[in-house]
Each structure stands twice: as structure tokens, then as C-alpha cells.
Amino acid sequence: MKTSINLYSKYLFLQLIYNIIMPQQLPLLMIIVLSIFSILIISLIIRYMYLYIIQIYKNNNKNNITIIDRLGSILPYWLPLLEGLQNFGQQILPDYPFSIMQIYKKTLMPLVIFYVTHPTLAFIIFFILYYLFVRTKSPIPDRPFIRFNVLQSILLFLINSLLGATFRALPIEFRTSLYGLMLCNTLFWFVLSTISYSILKSIEGKYAKIPVISQAVRIQIDNQI
């Protein structure tokens, strides 16, 4: 009799522990299962989208400029734009009218801050673009329009980086003087105008014709053929 009571008491004790622990573990287990399931679903969606885009490219003439080509040509220009805003925009934009500065703070400034606080991001994006679009043995289909704009955005990024490094190497007395601000303002508008022009041409589905820069891109593409 005592043995039965002891066994029953142990059973009640274990049942109590189970009821206390399981409600705490169940949500965590559900979160893990749902996370794994979500990752699998997202991976499958990305895979099918990738295969679908490749199939579209294979069926179309590579010289035909599609909507995907236009959108894909716009995205790389964010790299030289953020580089130009970092090098020149932060110094001269505070002197611009208040309304322009407010628009900048609400739109591009958070991206610039993120870009500045993560300096390795630019080099990671640079090498990804180089691996996917510049190399002759690229894992994605060859699209001349996207390749042209990616190469042009990389060249603009390198020019911006060189100009920014050169400007920062100048004496601080010159950079803060009237002539230094004029030079910085000129470089800023050079960056902004070339990128805006390139994006506009990408939207139109036409090749940009920036003097020297676009010609250098053409020469690079022709040498790789």
C-alpha cells in the first residue's frame, strides 16, 4: 500500500514538473520550428525566382532591354552616390537652405550614416558586383545593359573615392576656406549630376554617354569580349 502511495506521489510530482516546464519550452520550440520553416520557404522562393529570371533571359535576346535590366542597372549607382555624399555632401549640405537639409535628413541621411559607420560595406558590395557582373565567367546570364551600368557605377565609385581622399589630404585651412568650399561644392555636384544622368538613362533604357567615363567602360567591355 505504501509503495503504491509513493509511486502515485512521484507520478504527481513529475506531472507537476512537466506542467510547469512544458508551457515555457513549447513557445520556444514553436519559434524554432517556424523559423526553420520560414527559412526553407524563403530559400525556395529565391531559388525559383532565380531560375525564372534565368529562363526569361535565355528566351529573350540579350540585346533587348527589359524592365529587370533597367531596375538592375539603377541599383549599383547607390554605391557611388553614398560615397559622394560621405566625401562631399556632409560638408556642404548644412549650408544649403533649411528645406533641402530637412529632405536630406529624412531620406538619404540615415543611409549615409549607416554607410559611414560600416566602412567595409562598400568593399563587400564592390567585390560582389565585380564577381557577378565584371568577370567573364559570371554565374548569372550576360546582360550587356546591366553590365555596362555596373561597370560605370564601379568606375564612378573609384573616382569618388579618389577625389574624396585627395580632398581630405588638403590642409584643413584650405578645406574650410571659401575656395575649399567652392571646390567641395563643385565635386559634389559633379557626383550628383553624373549619377542622376546615369539613373535617368537607365530608366529610359538607354546607354549613358558621360565623357571619358562611358568611353572607358566601353573599352573595358570590348576588351573582355
In order, the DSSP letters of 31-92 are: HHHHHHHHHHHHHHHHHHHHHHHHHHHHHS-TTS--HHHHHHHHGGGHHHHHHHIIIIIHHH
77 lies in which domain range? 64-224
Helix (H) or strand (E) holding 160, with range, is helix 144-169
C-alpha distances (whole Å) from 70 to each of 67, 74, 138, 156 are 5, 6, 19, 18
In a shared domain, residues 52 and 80: no
Q: What is the pLDDT of residues 194-204, one digit of tens each?
A: 999 999 999 99
In a shared domain, residues 28 and 115: no
In a shared domain, residues 139 and 167: yes
In a shared domain, residues 99 and 148: yes
| Nearest in space to 187 (alpha carbons), one of 89, 115, 106 | 89
% pLDDT > 70, the chain: 76
CB 199 within 8 A of CB 74: yes
> Which amino acid is it at 110?
P
Phi, psi of 65 (to 5 degrees): -95, 110
User: All 3 cell numbers of residue 80?
Assistant: 557611388
- Sorted by sequence, the CB contacts under 8 Å of residue 57 that are 6+ apart come out as 141, 143
Q: What is the pLDDT of residues 95-139, one digit of tens each?
A: 788 777 888 888 888 888 888 888 888 888 888 888 887 777 766
| Nearest in space to 108 (alpha carbons), one of 154, 77, 149, 68 | 77
Q: What is the pLDDT of residues 71-89, one digit of tens each?
A: 888 999 999 999 999 988 8
CB 79 within 8 A of CB 128: no
In a shared domain, residues 119 and 151: yes
In a shared domain, residues 55 and 82: no
In a shared domain, residues 3 and 99: no
Q: What is the pLDDT of residues 34-69, one digit of tens each?
A: 777 777 777 777 776 666 666 665 555 556 778 888
Which of 42, 59, 76 terminates a domain? The answer is 59
The number of domains in the chain is 2
In a shared domain, residues 134 and 115: yes
In a shared domain, residues 86 and 35: no
User: All 3 cell numbers of residue 105?
Assistant: 535628413
